[in-house]
Structures are given as C-alpha cells and as structure tokens.
Amino acid sequence: MIDFKALAKEYKTPLYVYDFDYMTQQFEELKEAFRGRKSIIAYAVKANSNLSVVQHFAKMGSGADCVSIGEVRRALLAGVPKYKIIFSGVGKTDDEIKEAIEKDILYVNVESEAELGRVELMAKELGKVSRISIRVNPNIDPKTHPYIATGLHDNKFGVAIDTAKRMYIMAKNSAHLDPVGIHFHIGSQLTELEPIREAAEIVADLVRSLNVLDIELKFFDIGGGLGIKYKDEQAIKPYDYAQAILGTLTALDMTIICEPGRFLTANAGYFLTKVLYEKQNGAKKFVVVDGAMNDLLRPSLYNAYHKVEAITENDGECREVDIVGPVCESGDFFAKNYKLPPLEHNDLLVIKSAGAYGFGMGSNYNTRGRSAEVAVQNGEARVIRKRESFEGLIALEQEFLEK
Ligand code: LLP
C-alpha cells in the first residue's frame, strides 16, 4: 500500500505518483502472453513519457513506439536500443524523417502515399536506405470513444488496403526504401477482442497477398489499444489477446510487435490533489481542489471517469459533489456528481488510473506550473520530475520584455 498522505506531505500537491512495481507486473504479464513467439513490446511513449518511466521499461527489454522525433530522442536517452524504436504519426516533417533515418531506428511507420515519397526522398538525400512499415487502416469499428478511435476510414490514420499494396510495390522497387513491417492500430481503450481479431485477420491476409508478390515482411505490428479498468469495464486478458492475434498468423513467421501504453501505465498512476474548500451554488455542491484540468485533462476532454478516493478524518455521510479545479473554465472538473464524504481544507483526494495520458497531456494554462512526478518502487519513493517553477514558465519570454 502506498502512503499517499506521507507522499503529499513530503512532495506537496498537486502530485503524480507512479507505482513502478505495478508497471513491471503489467509488462511481464504481456510478455508472458506472447511467450514462445518472436515478439517485441514497444512501449507507447506518449502514454507517459517521463524519462524514468521509459527507462524502467527499457530495462525490462522494452522497445518504444514514438510519435515525434522528440519521443525518439527520449527513448534513446532512456536506453531503448535503436533497433527497437518505431516512429509513427500522420504528419512527420522532413527534418524528423531525416533524423529518424540517421539514427537508424527499426523503421519509420508510413501513413500516406505522399509521406512514402518524402521518406524516399530524405533517404536518397542522405544516401541511405530507410526501413519502413505501412500503417494500414482496416476500416474496423473499434467500439471505443470516438476521440480515440483510429481504425475507420473516417479517421485520419493509416491507408486503405489497396493503397497499402500499391505503396509496398513502390517501396520494393525503390533503391532507398526497405519495406520490413506492417502496422495497424484501430483505437485506444479497447475492451472488445473481436474488432482487434478482425483487423489482424484483414492485415494478415494483406501480408499473404504481398508474399505472393515476393514482398516478405518481418514485423507484424498490432499497435496498442488494450483497455484497462477505470470503473467497471471488463478488460481483455493479455493471454486472450495474444491468442486471438496468433490465430490470424497461421503459416506466417513474423515477429509480433505490440505498442501498449495505457495497459502498462494507467493503473500504476495516481494524481494527488488537496481540498481547498467546499462551496455551494444553489443546489450544487462543489469541492474545489488545488489540481486542475491543466494537470489531468481526460475528464474535461473525454468526460472520462476516474475513480476518486478521499483521505479524510471526516466520516460524515457521503453527498454528491462536483470536484473542480481553480482554472477559469467550466470544463475544469475531475468528476461530476461524485459521492464523497464532507471534506475539509487540506484533506487529500487520490485520483486513480492517472498514469497514462495524465501528466503528458498537461499544460501551463493559467500560468500553472506542472506538478512533480514521484516513482514508488520496492517501498521507496523518489522524484522523477521536479515541480515546474514560475521562473521556468517565463524563461522563454522574459528576455523579450521591452525595457
Ligand atoms: N500505437 C499507436 C499508433 C497509437 O496511436 C497509440 C495511442 C498507441 C499505440 C498506444 O495506445 P494505448 O495502448 O495507450 O491505448 N489521450 C487518449 C488516448 C490517445 C491514444 C493515442 N494513440 C486518452 O487519454 O484516452
């Protein structure tokens, strides 16, 4: 059990706390599910890009799925070997593509025909060959929140099967491209297995038809998306997930790559925030806390549910409250109509499942420095990111003040 009260006292609030042992457990469970098959777990850095978090996974043999050259640099800095780094994303700049080729990462995951042309040109300019994979959009409804669904033709991600085929042929005939992989990712927080299996089957069929054309791919990249339990969702079991994928790969000897983010970090993370005061507006009761949407955006952006635990001496009867922050937006809330006991100044709220897409989606809106991050491992706590200071926030502007 993590002593949240002690951590809040020592490191102040708002504060992110990550249970590194839980991350280890999740990583090992997933690795175990693919045992006996060539596989790479490429941690999706975007879920929680703290260097120490990435390093923690790197030490267990993880690769990294990156979506900007900044993430590629982070992964390398954290000790992820270059041959386990993938660079995806619908809009890569020429400079990013060049750097990825120069850094000799596993492959650049290409998301459009136009991009394939740019990657070829950049490789040519550098006098190199770029390993690539192509992100296929299998047009499958992943049955998740529309903002995090990616595998439908309505979404901006990937290319249709026919386009992909054309692109592989073009890549094979290019002196500067080496097609090594195929990729799909139909969405995030997936709790149903069938859409994933269907997508894998469509993509595996494409691999077989490419084999006929003498295009042999080594990597079958199934993206991320494994859902977790925020409230009462039924999460997919890693074993079932692996079996469903493997079932589509008959007669294909490929290395499976998966890119989990949320599964590895979400339920390892806690966001600690202190109660400033309660207030009543008409019939509505609010608990105002020191954390805000700039720290944890998910409730405001997706109306996402995060469990909240109150640490208080008060054992009064629970009432329904809205938990809100100090930011000047009505959308600045962590929960609505949530049952909590009466709270007092300095009581602590622990917001759960905050380890993925929490800190990383934070901002400095309202000139709020982002909170510190603390890792807990083997019963010991350590800071892995300092709290941002006011001086830090203005550092890039101050020199431009008129005298
Ligand atoms: N691979 C690719 C290509 C992705 O686009 C993503 C996530 C992942 C892997 C990792 O997905 P995961 O295993 O974490 O589901 N901000 C949203 C989630 C956005 C996900 C974006 N892509 C949220 O807070 O729910």
Note the pLDDT of residue 52.
99
* Ligand 1 atom having least distance to the Cα of 183: 3
Most ligand 1 atoms within 8 A of CB, residue of 86, 152, 183, 188 to mutate: 188
* Ligand 1 atom having least distance to the Cα of 189: 15
Most ligand 1 atoms within 8 A of CB, residue of 45, 203, 262, 305 to mutate: 262
- The overall average pLDDT reported for the chain is 96
pLDDT tens digits for range 24-40: 999 999 999 999 899 99
Nearest CA to ligand 1 atom 24: 357
Q: Which 3 state secondary structure label does DSSP give 111?
A: coil
Question: What structural domains and CATH numbers belong to the chain?
Answer: 4-15+267-394 (2.40.37.10), 34-260 (3.20.20.10)
Q: Rounded to the nearest whole angstrom, what is the distance from the C-alpha of residue 383 to the centroid of ligand 1?
A: 26
Note the pLDDT of residue 271.
99
Nearest CA to ligand 1 atom 19: 148
Note the pLDDT of residue 173.
98
Collect the ranges in the chain with pLDDT lower than 70: none
* Ligand 1 atom having least distance to the Cα of 188: 15
| Residues linked to residue 289 through DSSP beta bridges, in sequence order | 275
Residue among 356, 301, 365 at smallest CA distance from 334: 301
Q: Rounded to the nearest whole angstrom, what is the distance from the C-alpha of residue 65 to the centroid of ligand 1?
A: 10
Q: Rounded to the nearest whole angstrom, what is the distance from the C-alpha of residue 223 to the centroid of ligand 1?
A: 9
- What long-range pairs does 234-241 form, CB within 8 A, spacing at least 24? 234/191, 235/191, 236/190, 236/191, 236/192, 236/193, 236/196, 238/29, 238/30, 238/32, 238/33, 238/263, 239/33, 240/193, 241/33, 241/193, 241/196
Residues annotated as catalytic are 328
* Ligand 1 atom having least distance to the Cα of 297: 24
**How many whole angstroms separate alpha carbon 257 and alpha carbon 277?**
48
Quick one: how far is CA 35 from the chain centroid? 24
pLDDT tens digits for range 191-203: 999 999 999 999 9
Note the pLDDT of residue 233.
95
The answer to whether 255 touches 38, Cβ cutoff 8 Å, is yes
Note the pLDDT of residue 155.
80
Q: Rounded to the nearest whole angstrom, what is the distance from the C-alpha of residue 142 to the centroid of ligand 1?
A: 13
Quick one: how far is CA 4 from the chain centroid? 24
Ligand 1 binding pocket (C-beta < 6 A) is 44, 47, 65, 88, 148, 185, 188-189, 223-226, 259-263, 298, 356-357
Nearest CA to ligand 1 atom 16: 357
pLDDT tens digits for range 60-102: 999 999 999 999 999 999 999 999 999 999 999 999 999 999 9
Note the pLDDT of residue 381.
98
Note the pLDDT of residue 147.
75
